[in-house]
Structure 1
Amino acid sequence: MSNQLIRRAQLMTGCATILLLAAPAVAQDAVTPPAAAQRAVDAARPVQYAAADMAAPAAETEAVGLTDIVVTATKRETNLQRTPIAINVLNTQAIKDRHVQSLFDLGDGAIPSLRIAPFEARQSALTLGIRGIVPLDANQPAREQGVGVYVDGVYLGRQHGLNAALFDVERIEVLKGPQGTLFGRNTEGGALSIVTKGPSGKFGGRVSGSIGNYGSYNSEAHLDLPEFHGFSVKLDGVIQHQDAITKNPLAGQTGWGYYDRQAFRAAVRWQPTPEITNDFSYDNGRDSNSPFYSQLLNFNPNNCVAGTQAASPNCALPGTSYTALTGTVKPVLPGVVIEGDKRQKVADIGVPQQPSVDKTHGFTNSLKWKVTPDLELRSITAWRGVTATQWDNSGGAHRPPIVSPGCTGTACNFSRYSLANLSQDQFSQELQAVGSLGTVDYVAGLFYFNERVSDDAATPNSLAIQGYTTAGQTTGYQYVVLDPCLTIAGVGAGSQPGCRSIDRASAVKSKSYAAYGQATWNVTDRLHLTAGGRYTSDKKKGALLFSRNVNYVTNPVAAAANGYTPLDETWNRFNPMATVAFDFSDTLHGYAKYATGYRAGGASSRTSNYQAFDPEDVKSYEVGLKADLFDRRVRINLAGYIMDRKDSQVDISTIQFQNNSSFNNLVTINAAGTTKIRGIEADVTVNPVEGLTLNASYAYTYTNIPLVPIVNIQRNAAGVETSRTTVLQRFYIVYTPRNAASGAIDYELPVGGGDTKLRFHLDANYSQATQAFDQFATKNDASFLMNGRISLADIAVGNGDEKLTVAVWGRNLLDKDYVFRRDPSNSLPGAPTTNILSGSVNNVLGDYGNFNAPRTYGIEATVRF
C-alpha cells in the first residue's frame, strides 16, 4: 500500500473517529421528530413499512432539514441512511437538473465512483464500471459485464441497448461493491438499479418539449389513467434527437455524434385485493446513432524507424521482445488534419456512413402477494431482447491501413468501415420471499436466467485515393467511394450485407441458476447482524462460426489448424456476505461488511482459436459511517474498502492486417496473482438554510494488477521453436481515475403567493486522467465539466391542478474539450510475426482518440396535469 493511500486511510479513520466522538452530543442535541425516530426503528422492516407509508412522515421532517431517501437495495424499502451499503441515489429532480436522457449522460462523473463510457467510439454499447471493476470489451457475446444493470428488478444481460432513452424514472440507485448475494449475476463492482414510476390509479400526467443547439429536440408524454375495476394504466413516450457534432463532408452521409431515439412503454397494475399487486409492462425502443469522430492526435510520436529495436526504444508493443523493426513509416494522406487539442467540427475527409441502430424490447410481469403482515411473496418474470446493427466509420484516414504514394489497385484502399450485427434474447425468472420472524428480517430467492446471443462483424475499406503520386501533394488526387458490393479475388470486400468478408461470427447460449438468502438479526434497537449467501451455477456454450472469412462450420480442418475449440463450460460459486451494523444514535450509523462476488468466464470471438478465459473472483472488506448532523442540516456518508481480485480478466489488443484491411485481435487472459483495489468515498450534503442544498462527492481509487509474464516465441521456417523470451507486462484497469469528484448547488426560491418557485442548479465534475486500454500506459485527458439549469417551476395555469415549468439547461457549460478515449495502437508496430520476432512499422500512423460532446443547451417547457 502506497504512502499516499495510507495517508488517505488515516484521514478517513480520523474523520470516522471525530464522528464517533460526536455521537453522544448528536444524540443529545439533535431535534428528531417522534415520527422520524419511529421510522428509523422500522426502516429495516419493510413488509409492514411500504413506500406509501413512508411518504406521509417525510412531510413532517421536510421543514427540519434534509428529507429521508427511500432505497430498495435490500429488496425492501429502507431509509438510505440506515442501509449498511454504500449507495448513491439520483432522484427524478437530479436527473432533470443534469439533463440526463440516457445512461451515457452519467459519464460526466455525477457519481465519482461510477464510470460510463461508450465502447470504442460507438454510442450503441456502454462500458460501465464501479470501484475499478471495468471490463474493456464486454461487447463480446461470450463475455460478461462487471456491473449489473437492473430495470425494475430485471437484469439486463448485454451492454448493447444500455444507451436507450430513459423512461419516467423515479430514481437510479448505484450500489457499490460486490452485490453477490441479493443481486448476484456479474455484480463484482456493484449494481445500477433503475426504478421507474408505476401506475398511480389517478388521472394525471405531464407533457414536455425542448429544443436546443445542434438541431436537438426532445419531447416526453406521460399519462396516468384512473383506476377501473382494480386496473390502472400508465403510458410513457419519449423522443430524443441531436444532429451530428462533427460534420461529414461527404454529401448525404451521417456525421459523428448524432442520435435519434424513440421509446414507448405501457404499464398496467392490477390490484384485485389489497394484498395482491400485479404489474405488467411492455417497452419498445429504437436508438439510431453514430460514433464519435476518431481524430488523429499526432504523427509517429514514438519515432519509429526500421532497424534494430535499440534505434527506436519507444516503438514497441507492450509485452513484446522485438529483434528488429521492418518496413517504412508512410506520410499522412493529402488533406488529413492532425489535431490533438480540440474537437474537429468538420471531418477532413468525408466517408460513407449510415446510422447504427439499436432496438430494444421487453415484457415484465411483477407479482407481489402480501400473505401475512410479516411475509410477502414476489415473482419477477421478464422476456427481453436487443438487436444492434453497427455502421461505424469513425476513423476514415486516421486509422490503418495506410496508403503509400504511388499506390496502385487495392493498395490505394483505406477507411476501415466497422460493420457488425448482434441479436440477443433473454428470459429471466426470480422468486422472492421477503419477511420477518420476530427480530429477524429475511430475504430468500431463486433465480433463473437464459440467454441466446449471436453476432457477426466485417471491416471492409470504404474509400480509395486516385492520382496519389507524391507525399504532401495538394492537387491532382481525388477520393472515391468504393463499390459497396466490391469483390476481390472471389472474396466479398464491400459494406453491404451479402457482399462482406466476415471477420468473425459467433453464437452463445448461457444459462444461470441461483439460490440465495439473507437474514438480519436485530439484536437490539441499535445492533443489527446480517449474513447471507448465494449459490450460482453458470453454464455457457459458444461456437465461433467465422474467423477471417473462414467458415468454421463447413471447414472444420481450417478451424482445427487455428487451434479452435468450442466453449462448453460450467462454473459454480458460493458467494457469502456478512455485515455488522450499529446505530450509535438515531442519526449516526456505522457498519462493517465482508462480501464476495464473481464474474463468469467466456471466450473471445476476436481470436481465431476462440480463446477461452476463466472467471474472476473478488473479496471485499468495507467500513462505512452515515450521519445526519445539526438537526438534519448536514448529511455525511463515508466508506473505505479493500478489494482483492483473483484471476483478473485483462485484454491484449493488437491490430492485424490482411487483404489490405485491418482486424482487431483481442485476447482475454486471466492475470495470475491478486489484483489490489483500494478506495475511499465521501458524500456530503448540506442544507444550511431552507431552499439551499449543497452536495459534494469524492472517490479515491487505487488499483494494481501484478505483472503478467508474456512469452514471445521465435520459430524457424519449418515452424520449430528456436528461442523464447518472457517479458513482464504491466496491465491497467481502464476508466478508473485515481481521484474523481463532483459537486452541486441547488437553490429554490418561492415566487409570488402560490406554489411557483425559481430553481437554480449548477454542478461541476472532475476526473483525473486514466487509461483507456488494459495494456497501454497511455492515458486519456483529465476532465472538468459543468452543467446547469434554471427553471421557473409550478406556474399555475388553467382552473385546475395544471402547472407549467419553463427551464433553460446547459451541459458542458464551459465548452471544454478533452479526449475520453486515446488509442496508441496506431502509433506502434504490428505484433511479431510467427517465425521471426520482428515488428513492421508499415502501418504506423499516430495516436487517435475521441473527444467528449461539446457544449449543448436548450429551453424546455413542461405541463403537469
Structure 2
Amino acid sequence: MTCNTTFRTRLLLGSILMAVATPALAQTAPAADTAMAAQPGEPGPGDVTGLDEVIVTATKRETNLQETPISISVVGSEDLSNRHVQSLIDLADGAVPSLRVATFEARQSALTIGIRGIVPLDANQPAREQGVGVYIDGVYLGRQHGLGSALLDIERVEVLKGPQGTLFGRNTEGGALSLVTRRPSGEFGVRAVAGVGNLESYNSELHVDFPAFGDFAFKVDGVIQVQGPVTSNILPGEEGFGQYDRRGLRAQVRWTPTDNFTADLAADTGLDKNTPFYSQLLNFNPLGRPVVPWTSASVPSGSIRDLAPIVIVEGEDRMTVADIGVPQQWSTDETQGTDLHLSWRPTDALEVRSITAYREVDVDQYDNIAGAHRPPVVGPNSNFSRYSLAGLWQHQFSQEFQAVGSAGDRLDYVGGLYYFKETVSDDAATPSTNRWNSDGTGYTILDPTPTIRGFRFVDRASTAHSESKAIYGQATWTPDVMADALHITVGGRYTWDDKDGVLSTVNNVATNFTFETSTDRFDPLVTVAWEATDEVNVYAKYSTGYRAGGASSRSLTYRSFDAEEVKAYEIGLKSDLFDNRLRLNAALYAMDREGSQIDFSLVTVIGASTRNTLETVNAPGTTKIRGLELEGQFQATENLRLSAAYAYTDTEIPPTENPFTGVVQPVFIVFTPKNAANVAADWESPLSNGTFRAHIDASYADATQTFDQSAVKNDSSFIVNGRLAISDLQFAAGAPMVELALWSRNLLDEAHVYRRDPANRATLGDYGNFNAPRTFGLEMTVRY
C-alpha cells in the first residue's frame, strides 16, 4: 500500500470513528472553553451559536486571534482535558501538526520541541540551545530538561509559528511555545480531580482559589501523575521502562492595592521521576553480511556475529517484557522557580510591566534502556548493556521590563528591555552493567559501584555560562485610509549575547578545553495586514530569528560552532465566515537558514564503557524550509463542532562534511514530517441531570528522520484519542458540580517506531523505541 493510500485510509477511519462518537442527540450549544470569551449577542430560535472568540498574548498584549497577523495555534484548557494532556510530552501525538515534540534519546524528561522544521537534535548539553523558545507566563525556560514535568492548571497553550526574534528574542527561530496559567481570581473556588487507569496509573489534582483577603488573593495548585511500566524489567528489584511519577505544587498571591496596580508572586516546585522507553532490536544484520556463530572467538572483517540465543528481534510491535534484565532506577528531574509580575497603568493608554524570575533544574539521569541491543560489539564473556548516568544542574535569572500602550487611535506600541543569565553544569558516565556467559544463554550482573557518583569512569564534565541583554520595540500604525482596514507593523530587537564554557573532563582525565563567544545582532520585523472584509483578514510578514552558537560537551575537544540564523517570509489569511460558524486560517511561508547546526555522532568502545562522541558543525550555504499550514473549525450544529489542521513542510540542507570521515554527505532535519494532519469532533447535549460530552481526534504524520546524518526513517504514525463525559451533575441543591469521564489515548493501540538508530547496522542491527501504548481510565472532577 502506498503512503498516500495509507494516509487516505487512516483519515477515512478517523472520520468513521468521529461519526460513531457523534450520535443525534438533543440540541444545545457547547460550553465555551475556559480560555475563551463568548461572542456578544444571543442566538434566536433555531440559530446556531458561532465559534467563540479566542484571546492570545502573542504580541505582548491581549488580542483576538483572528485579528493577530501571526500564524498561531491555541490549545485551550478544554482541549487539553479532552486529550488527557498531563505533560508537554503528550503533545507528541500531533494535536498541532506544525508542533513536533519528541524525547531526547528515549528519556521522558528531556524533550525536543520543534516548529516548522526548526528541531534541534541534541540541545541536551550545557552549551547547546533550543530552536523553539518555551515560556510559562512569559518566563523563558532555558533547558530541555524538566519540560516533561506535570502541567499545573494551564489556561491555554499558544503555539507561535515562525521566527519570534523581535518580541521573544534568542532561540526562537522556529517559533515559541507559550504556556499561560490561571491566576488567582479573589473568588472562592475548588476543583478536585481523581482518576485511575491501566498500566497501574492514577492521577489527582487539587486547585483552590481562596476568597480575597483585603487587597490579596491566593491560589494553590497541586498535581500527582503516576503510571507503571510499559515494558517490564525481568531483573528482580529493578524499575521497568516507560513509567513516571510526577508531582507538582504551586502557590500564588495577587496584590491589588489600587485599580491601576497589580503584583503577582508565584512559586512552584516539581519532581518528575521517570524511566526511559525500552530500546528494542528492530532487525538483525540488515546489510546482509556473513554471519559467524555466537561462540566464535573472532569476527572477520566484513562479517557479523550471530545473536546470543536469548536476544529477541522485534520490529513490528512494542515489547511488554524486556528480553534482557538490567539494573534500572528512576531518573529524577527537580524543578523549582519563583516569578514576580508587576503591572502599573499610569493612564488608560499605557501599561508598564516588570517580570522578574529565578529558576533551577536539577537532574539525575539513569538510562539503561537497550540491554544487548545497543553496543557495537558483543561476544562471549564480554560486557554489555550501556548504562547512561548523567547529571545536569542549571540555574537562571531573568528580568524584563515592558511598556505596552497606544498613542491615539492609530498607533499601538510595545517596547522592552530584557536580561537573562544562566549557569549550567553536567557530567556523564556510561559503564556496562551486564556480562555474557560463554554460550550466550545467560548473563551476570556486574558490580553496581559505578552507578554511585564518585566511583564512576567519567566520560565528560563541563560547565557553561550565558548572558544575554536586549532592547526591543514594535509599533502598529493604522493610517487614515481604506476605512482603517490597513495595519502596518514595524519592529526590531537588538541583542548582545556572551557565552563561555569549559570541558573539564574527557574520558576520566582532567582537561581544560574552553570556548568563548560574543554576538550582537539586530532582528527586524515588518508586517502589513489588511482587513479585506469584516470576516476576512490577510497579511504579509517578514521576520528573522536565530539560535545561539556554542560547543559540544560530547566532543573530545569541546569543538565550538557558530549561531544559525533564519529569514522568514510569510503570507496568511484569517477568516470567520457564515456568522462565525466557520473559521478558516492559512499560512504559506518560506524560511532561509544560514549556518544550520548539524550533529554528527560516532559510537566507540573504551574499556568497559561505550562512548558517544558528538561533533556539531555549521552547514555551508542556505538551508531551505518551505511550508503550508491550514486550520479550520466548523460549528456544524448546536451540538457538533468539527476541526481540522494540516501542515506541509519541505526541507533541504546543503551536503555537509562529516568531521569523523571527512566525507561530504547528505544531511537531514530531524522529527519533521512532510505531511501532518489532525481532525477532531466535539459533541454536547443535555441530559435530565447534567450534560453529555464526547470528543474524538485523530492525528497522522509521515515518517521522519531521527539523526541529522542518516537518511534512515522512523515509522509514520496515526494516533486516535477519545473522551466521553457526563458533566454538570448536581445531586442536591448547593452541592458541588461533578463530572465523570472515560478517556483513552492511542485508542487503537497503534504502534510505531518514533526513534530509530542505525548506528550499529554493520555490527548488529537497528534499535529503536516505540510510542506509548493505548492508555485509558476513569476520571472524576468535583467543582465547588
Shorter-normalised TM range = over 0.9
**Contact 2:671/2:705, CA 8 A, preserved across alignment:** yes
**Deviation at 1:331?**
2.0
**Deviation at 1:64?**
3.4
Q: 2:428 aligns to what?
A: 457
Q: 2:378 aligns to what?
A: 403
Q: Distance in 2 between matches of 1:131 and 1:860?
A: 35
**Contact 1:401/1:661, CA 8 A, preserved across alignment:** no
Q: Distance in 2 between matches of 1:482 and 1:658?
A: 17
Query: Alpha-carbon deviations, 1:33-75, whole Å to 9, x = none?
Result: xxxxxxxxxxxxxxxxxx9999475565896311100000000
Q: Distance in 2 between matches of 1:547 and 1:60?
A: 69
Q: 2:526 aligns to what?
A: 578
Q: 1:300 aligns to what?
A: 285
Q: 2:273 aligns to what?
A: 288
**Deviation at 1:333?**
2.2
Give the structure with higher Rg (CA). 1
Q: Distance in 2 between matches of 1:205 and 1:380?
A: 28
Q: Distance in 1 between matches of 2:522 and 2:307?
A: 55
**Deviation at 1:304?**
4.0
**Contact 1:766/1:784, CA 8 A, preserved across alignment:** yes
SS at match of 1:95: helix
Identity %: 57
Q: 2:10 aligns to what?
A: none
Instruction: Classify 1:331/1:660 alpha carbon distance in 2 versus 1 (closer, same or farther; 3 Å).
Output: farther
Q: Distance in 2 between matches of 1:689 and 1:327?
A: 66
Query: Alpha-carbon deviations, 1:707-742, whole Å to 9, x = none?
Result: 1234777xxxxxxxxxxxx63310100000000000
- 1:737 and 2:673 are equivalent in the alignment: yes
**Contact 1:70/1:77, CA 8 A, preserved across alignment:** yes
What is the root-mean-square deviation of aligned Cα atoms in Å?
Answer: 1.9
Given candidates 764, 767, 777, the residue that maps to 1:845 is: 764
Q: Distance in 2 between matches of 1:760 and 1:712?
A: 54
Q: 2:397 aligns to what?
A: 427
Given candidates 694, 716, 733, the residue that maps to 2:642 is: 694
Q: Distance in 2 between matches of 1:695 and 1:52?
A: 18
Q: Distance in 1 between matches of 2:35 and 2:534?
A: 19
Given candidates 258, 274, 279, the residue that maps to 2:243 is: 258
Q: 2:413 aligns to what?
A: 442
Given candidates 691, 695, 699, the residue that maps to 1:765 is: 699
Q: 2:474 aligns to what?
A: 518
Q: 2:538 aligns to what?
A: 590
**Contact 2:88/2:147, CA 8 A, preserved across alignment:** yes
Instruction: Classify 1:59/1:503 alpha carbon distance in 2 versus 1 (closer, same or farther; 3 Å).
Output: farther
Q: 1:38 aligns to what?
A: none
- 1:85 and 2:70 are equivalent in the alignment: yes
**Contact 2:39/2:52, CA 8 A, preserved across alignment:** no
Q: 1:155 aligns to what?
A: 140
**Contact 1:331/1:404, CA 8 A, preserved across alignment:** no
Query: Alpha-carbon deviations, 1:172-210, whole Å to 9, x = none?
Result: 000000001111121000000000000010011210101
Instruction: Classify 1:53/1:413 alpha carbon distance in 2 versus 1 (closer, same or farther; 3 Å).
Output: closer
Given candidates 394, 398, 413, the residue that maps to 2:383 is: 413
Aligned residue type for 1:794? D
Q: Distance in 1 between matches of 2:309 and 2:530?
A: 68
**Contact 2:670/2:707, CA 8 A, preserved across alignment:** yes
Q: Distance in 1 between matches of 2:735 and 2:397?
A: 42
**Contact 1:86/1:624, CA 8 A, preserved across alignment:** yes
Q: Distance in 2 between matches of 1:396 and 1:711?
A: 29
Q: Distance in 1 between matches of 2:660 and 2:238?
A: 44
Q: Distance in 1 between matches of 2:583 and 2:625?
A: 27
Unaligned runs of 5+ in 1: 5-50, 307-324, 486-493, 554-563, 714-725, 829-843
Given candidates 482, 485, 488, the residue that maps to 1:529 is: 488
**Deviation at 1:572?**
1.0
**Deviation at 1:798?**
3.8
- After TM superposition, the structure 1 = structure 2 runs for residues 670-749 of structure 1, keeping only pairs within 5 Å, are 670-710=618-658, 727-749=663-685
Q: 1:855 aligns to what?
A: 774
**Contact 1:58/1:67, CA 8 A, preserved across alignment:** no
Given candidates 439, 444, 465, the residue that maps to 1:480 is: 444
Q: 2:223 aligns to what?
A: 238
**Contact 1:462/1:495, CA 8 A, preserved across alignment:** no
**Contact 2:190/2:207, CA 8 A, preserved across alignment:** yes
Aligned residue type for 1:293? Y
Query: Alpha-carbon deviations, 1:347-394, whole Å to 9, x = none?
Result: 001000001000000000000001100000000000001011000000
Q: Distance in 1 between matches of 2:213 and 2:760?
A: 63
Query: Alpha-carbon deviations, 1:776-796, whole Å to 9, x = none?
Result: 000000000000000001111
Given candidates 771, 787, 793, the residue that maps to 2:721 is: 787
Q: 1:132 aligns to what?
A: 117
Q: Distance in 1 between matches of 2:188 and 2:146?
A: 32
- After TM superposition, the structure 1 = structure 2 runs for residues 487-502 of structure 1, keeping only pairs within 5 Å, are 494-502=450-458
Q: Distance in 1 between matches of 2:184 and 2:487?
A: 35
Q: TM-score, normalised by structure 2?
A: 0.92
SS at match of 1:81: helix
Instruction: Classify 1:712/1:250 alpha carbon distance in 2 versus 1 (closer, same or farther; 3 Å).
Output: closer
Instruction: Classify 1:274/1:57 alpha carbon distance in 2 versus 1 (closer, same or farther; 3 Å).
Output: farther
Q: Distance in 2 between matches of 1:827 and 1:579?
A: 49
**Contact 1:401/1:414, CA 8 A, preserved across alignment:** no
SS at match of 1:186: coil
Instruction: Classify 1:54/1:374 alpha carbon distance in 2 versus 1 (closer, same or farther; 3 Å).
Output: farther
**Contact 2:48/2:637, CA 8 A, preserved across alignment:** no
Q: 2:744 aligns to what?
A: 810
Aligned residue type for 2:609? S
Aligned residue type for 1:581? A
**Contact 1:149/1:192, CA 8 A, preserved across alignment:** yes
SS at match of 1:396: coil
Q: Distance in 2 between matches of 1:504 and 1:751?
A: 62
- 1:538 and 2:538 are equivalent in the alignment: no
- 1:864 and 2:783 are equivalent in the alignment: yes
SS at match of 1:342: coil
- 1:668 and 2:616 are equivalent in the alignment: yes
**Deviation at 1:504?**
0.4
Q: Distance in 1 between matches of 2:610 and 2:479?
A: 63
Given candidates 328, 331, 352, the residue that maps to 2:327 is: 352
Unaligned runs of 5+ in 2: 5-32, 292-299
SS at match of 1:825: coil
**Contact 2:35/2:54, CA 8 A, preserved across alignment:** no
**Deviation at 1:502?**
0.2
Aligned residue type for 2:373? H
**Deviation at 1:657?**
1.5
SS at match of 1:772: coil
What is the total number of aligned residue pairs between the two structures? 740
SS at match of 2:211: strand
SS at match of 1:93: helix
**Deviation at 1:529?**
0.2
Aligned residue type for 1:480? T
**Deviation at 1:587?**
1.3
Q: Distance in 2 between matches of 1:56 and 1:404?
A: 67
Q: Distance in 2 between matches of 1:52 and 1:456?
A: 43
**Contact 2:158/2:177, CA 8 A, preserved across alignment:** yes
- 1:221 and 2:221 are equivalent in the alignment: no
Q: Distance in 1 between matches of 2:333 and 2:651?
A: 34
Q: 2:196 aligns to what?
A: 211
SS at match of 1:105: helix
- 1:175 and 2:111 are equivalent in the alignment: no
Q: TM-score, normalised by structure 1?
A: 0.84
SS at match of 2:452: coil
Query: Alpha-carbon deviations, 1:254-306, whole Å to 9, x = none?
Result: 01000000000001000000100100000000000000000000111113469
